[in-house]
Amino acid sequence: MNPHALARASAERMWAGDQASRLLGMQVIDVGPGSAQVSMDVRADMVNGWEVCHGGFVASLADTAFALACNSHGEVTVASGFDITFLESAHAGDTLLATATERASRGRTGIYDVTVSRIAGDTSPMIAEFRGRSRSLGRNIADL
């Protein structure tokens, strides 16, 4: 299987069981070897007491794109940690896009960067930067 077909097949397998991301209204926009894009509309029930999107939802969006990107090579891979820096607030009605990119992969360890941007809304586009660290479990997604 070529790398792009493997990435799509891995994403389809993961997405089929990802009830949390689907419940939050996320949509897979694109997936490729070591990369993914996922969007989410910020709903009224996602804002906190200051009328801004709760940071946990922004982190969840970034984490979903990260998961799709790091599993795109056909191996079951999990997060070993991540950091996120919030640059702007998102608001109800905004549409956010998380773009994940593989930065390094050595053995069973990977590093991925995810940029969360506003693609529909009234203010500056960049919302957050996320760096995820992954760990392969040594199992093939096709075997699940």
Beta bridge partners of 41: 95
Please tell me the predicted confidence (pLDDT) of residue 144: 67
Higher-confidence residue of 86 and 139: namely 86
Query: What are 52-73's pLDDT values in tens digits?
Result: 999 999 999 999 999 999 999 9
Beta bridge partners of 99: 37, 115
- Give the class (CATH, top level) of 3-143: alpha beta
Distances (CA, A) of 59 to 37, 43, 74, 75, 119: 14, 15, 24, 23, 17
Map out the domains of the chain as residue ranges.
Answer: 3-143
Strands 126-140 and 109-120: antiparallel
The span from the CA of 39 to the CA of 42, in Å, is 10
Q: Using alpha carbons only, give the angle 101, 105, 106 rounded to the nearest 5 degrees.
A: 170
Nearest CA to 85 out of 131, 23, 144, 49 is that of 131
**CA-CA-CA-CA torsion sign (83, 37, 22, 24):** positive
Question: Average pLDDT, whole number, for the chain?
Answer: 94
Please tell me the predicted confidence (pLDDT) of residue 142: 76
Query: What are 112-137's pLDDT values in tens digits?
Result: 999 999 997 666 689 999 999 999 99
The pTM assigned to this predicted structure is: 0.94
Please tell me the predicted confidence (pLDDT) of residue 33: 97
Please tell me the predicted confidence (pLDDT) of residue 62: 98
Higher-confidence residue of 49 and 142: namely 49
Distances (CA, A) of 63 to 3, 68, 70, 123: 22, 9, 10, 23
Please tell me the predicted confidence (pLDDT) of residue 3: 93
